[in-house]
Structure 1
């Protein structure tokens, strides 16, 4: 297959490609440029008839998303891209948009349209709004002119041209975020490189997809640092033509597995929703390497703060980033985020520095800090224990484990600034873009959440240990003389942990075969077993303990994840 010509995205439909040129692959079926143009025309007719200046798009399928995106743009409809469709997200966006399209209730639908001429899009039109990840606060909408993302797709082709025309773009990240939007949809469309329509959720999916054909993998650090060595990586390694990582820092500890299992270190791309792509690096033979600016991007460092000037910005002015850096050769080394400075008891505390100190402890695999809301500022620490850490926790208990880690920080930070509250978990929570958000970290400190430890997990099954502490508010008033855990709480726990571990459909439909065999009392040490059946939208659960079975049932869902 010969390389397709690169087409600027403002002229993609106006200039066009051969009707049979492959655009996407969906479950083994090739979707052609003729299919893409027809679908985009149907969406253009839909948005034109709706007469809305702004619309929100949320699709799981990347081909459907791309067709709706270009259909909206050609209808003059500005597109907003939420990261999810949670009620709070929809409520926030409903104040900005006149309609929704995609995998949401009451969404617009494409209308059959005859083939028509396509105009060139105006690159200076502010036709897109993307959201920050919320990793350091509430997600914020970032407006972009089309030229910003169109030029960035051209920059990526200039920076990384040697991927091969036959390589299919596979991704673990969502196109609803700027990284996935560019690498999974816009760059492939401009370069004429086909992309897979479905997102890869699990390592097993990655191995299967890469083993089928030559591929480029667009991944997040969350996936690359958890590559199980017991999967058949040989065929995947042979077929891999390119590997990208973005959305957050990739720990150096993940590089050996990438090199061994995937045959290469990833090309890491550094940037943000606000700035677009800034720089790249590839740590093939070293664990440390400076970042190199992408073509057309200029950087400067003033008082440790990184400043950027780039065609991916709204104007040609220098813009400060949220990161600290130092110059190294023609590139730079990142030193942590400048906005992760917390003021605790009148002292400025670097959360990055405390996280780094915790990460050097052999009992800790990963750690993230968050400032907890309240009348008095406190730091909460979310820790992923190492094998040695779990052994320590099992032998001495949570209180002793937390105290030991707090004491280990004595040489790094004053006592008043050390974390006051601690949570141990099996992995840092990440969203579909591989980001650990502040909201997800704060949710781990919800007093209604039980202590949970993941024992085993695969694509559709999981086993967790839960502790029903007497301090849980669920026991209050139920009942005063002999407290027991309410049945509705047991179901809520099954749903909550099911959503953390599996891509459950969005809508709860009902309960089946629900049984409560015996009560759960304060202090009970529980085993929660979950089994997800995707084709039926069912989550089966069983709660048991040394005393026997406590509860079981099936929870039915519908819709998209």
Structure 2
């Protein structure tokens, strides 16, 4: 099952193949081929090498990325199309392929559905281009991650060999953006290469998801921890008569409680995929029990750094598949090759001249029966201290209502004292209904800091 994506890019879809759909429209292989050929001609005639690609709907995005890759271009994928983001990336691209004008000074190719395009053969390429993704990051400058078609092909091929048997005649729907590596792979590249149709729109509401589950007998849901955590409440925590064939989650940690709730509603545990833009997918698991270990994908070699316990990987998804990459996650390696994620190593701060891990503190807080989710941040005003933003379980909310905030604070401080010195404990505590996350379900430092603005 190797070269699944490369082989598909070289041959294109079959004429009657269903590429994408929504509630009022479909795109067949012949229409998709005509669109890709039309864009390819424009791109092939241009000397510009670096093209930023952005589109709201996945069918237009897919046509743009296929045409650009076949034309040998470098495709730049921003995390979003906000003005500030594009200004930060202005140096990284010379032309834009998009469904709306994003810059007045760059060469522009418009993405739009054109039904009357002449039938043309699938474009033939002498050299397939590559991708550059920019991670949004929690702070600092966006980081460019280059991906060759060989790296993307390796991951798509492994995903197919790992999960294909559980995806019989499946269509793919997604609540996550195709502008990021997870959505790009799971919603666009993998479905295209494996001839699975995908929903061209983004699912934003539980009612929309229920509509498509009822409409289509086999459905694969690609989602995020933040969205899956909210879904059971929208479904009133009741067992559903119809359910997706498979549910994927990635982009951050999915709580054990959320995994159980999804199982209650849909009769299955989500498949969590652990990875990053840089590493691609590293491992996967289903949380049928607390602290379930992660199973590496078949092509991934895993080790633990002897000095600090950091995750080390060797992978065909990386620029060099023969060298070990040290990650920022501390792991505990099991004898069977699986591993447990402990905490991040890159979130080490000094409080009262003592070094501590914010991720370790968050992990310990999440083991308390009052805590559903926890985020610990370093505050600088009025002085250097830690702040903890906590979403509470039903038990925690009951304690808050009955005994007040100070009581909850003291319970959690006592819990933290099992691993942390008193002088390092958070001084400010907040209990929002939900922790702020972006569209990909990731916590952004600046948004978390606003939780502490109100005294």
Asked if 1:191 corresponds to 2:194, the answer is: yes
Asked if 1:418 corresponds to 2:425, the answer is: yes
Please, which of 330, 333, 340 is the counterpart of residue 337 of structure 2? 330
User: Aligned runs of 1:108-127 on 2, under 5 Å?
Assistant: 108-110=109-111, 115-116=120-121, 118-120=123-125, 122=127, 125=129, 127=130
Mark the CA change 1:341 to 1:78 in structure 2 (over 3 Å): closer, same or farther.
same
Q: Secondary structure at the match of 1:12?
A: helix
Asked if 1:278 corresponds to 2:282, the answer is: yes
Mark the CA change 1:287 to 1:146 in structure 2 (over 3 Å): closer, same or farther.
same
Q: Secondary structure at the match of 2:36?
A: helix
1:218 counterpart residue number: 222
- TM-score normalised by structure 1 residue count: 0.72
8 A Cα contact 2:62 2:188, kept in partner: yes
- TM-score normalised by structure 2 residue count: 0.87
Q: Secondary structure at the match of 1:300?
A: strand
Deviations 1:155-184 (A, max 9, x none): 101111213452110111111111111011
Q: Secondary structure at the match of 2:97?
A: strand
Please, which of 114, 129, 132 is the counterpart of residue 129 of structure 1? 132
2:79 counterpart residue number: 83
Mark the CA change 1:48 to 1:421 in structure 2 (over 3 Å): closer, same or farther.
farther
CA–CA distance in 1 between the matches of 2:31 and 2:446?
40
Mark the CA change 1:86 to 1:390 in structure 2 (over 3 Å): closer, same or farther.
farther
CA–CA distance in 1 between the matches of 2:363 and 2:28?
48
1:101 Cα deviation from its structure 2 partner: 2.9
Mark the CA change 1:375 to 1:42 in structure 2 (over 3 Å): closer, same or farther.
farther
Structure 2: 5+ residue stretches without partners: 103-107
Asked if 1:436 corresponds to 2:440, the answer is: no
Residue-pair matches, total: 439
1:410 Cα deviation from its structure 2 partner: 3.6
Asked if 1:67 corresponds to 2:70, the answer is: no
Q: Secondary structure at the match of 2:273?
A: strand
Q: Secondary structure at the match of 2:109?
A: coil
Q: Return the index of the structure with the highest Cα Rg.
A: 1
Higher fraction of strand: 1
Please, which of 203, 206, 226 is the counterpart of residue 206 of structure 2? 203
1:287 counterpart residue number: 290
Please, which of 43, 46, 52 is the counterpart of residue 47 of structure 1? 43
CA–CA distance in 2 between the matches of 1:252 and 1:324?
20
2:325 counterpart residue number: 319
CA–CA distance in 1 between the matches of 2:451 and 2:72?
42
8 A Cα contact 2:99 2:111, kept in partner: no
Please, which of 144, 147, 151 is the counterpart of residue 148 of structure 1? 151
1:221 Cα deviation from its structure 2 partner: 1.3
1:396 Cα deviation from its structure 2 partner: 6.5
Asked if 1:308 corresponds to 2:309, the answer is: no
8 A Cα contact 1:13 1:118, kept in partner: no
2:105 counterpart residue number: none
1:288 Cα deviation from its structure 2 partner: 3.7
8 A Cα contact 1:13 1:37, kept in partner: no
User: Aligned runs of 1:123-522 on 2, under 5 Å?
Assistant: 125=129, 127-135=130-138, 138-213=141-216, 214-226=218-230, 227-228=232-233, 229-230=235-236, 234-237=240-243, 240-284=244-288, 286-303=289-306, 304-316=309-321, 317-328=323-334, 329-372=336-379, 377-393=384-400, 402=409, 405-406=412-413, 409-445=416-452, 447=453
CA–CA distance in 1 between the matches of 2:284 and 2:397?
36
Q: Cα RMSD between the aligned structures? A: 2.7
Mark the CA change 1:85 to 1:374 in structure 2 (over 3 Å): closer, same or farther.
farther
Q: Secondary structure at the match of 1:134?
A: coil
CA–CA distance in 2 between the matches of 1:138 and 1:439?
14
Q: After the TM superposition, which of the residue ranges 26-35 and 63-72 deviates more from structure 2?
A: 26-35
Structure 1: 5+ residue stretches without partners: 451-470, 472-561
1:528 counterpart residue number: none
1:294 Cα deviation from its structure 2 partner: 0.7
CA–CA distance in 2 between the matches of 1:109 and 1:339?
41
Mark the CA change 1:335 to 1:13 in structure 2 (over 3 Å): closer, same or farther.
closer
8 A Cα contact 1:325 1:335, kept in partner: yes
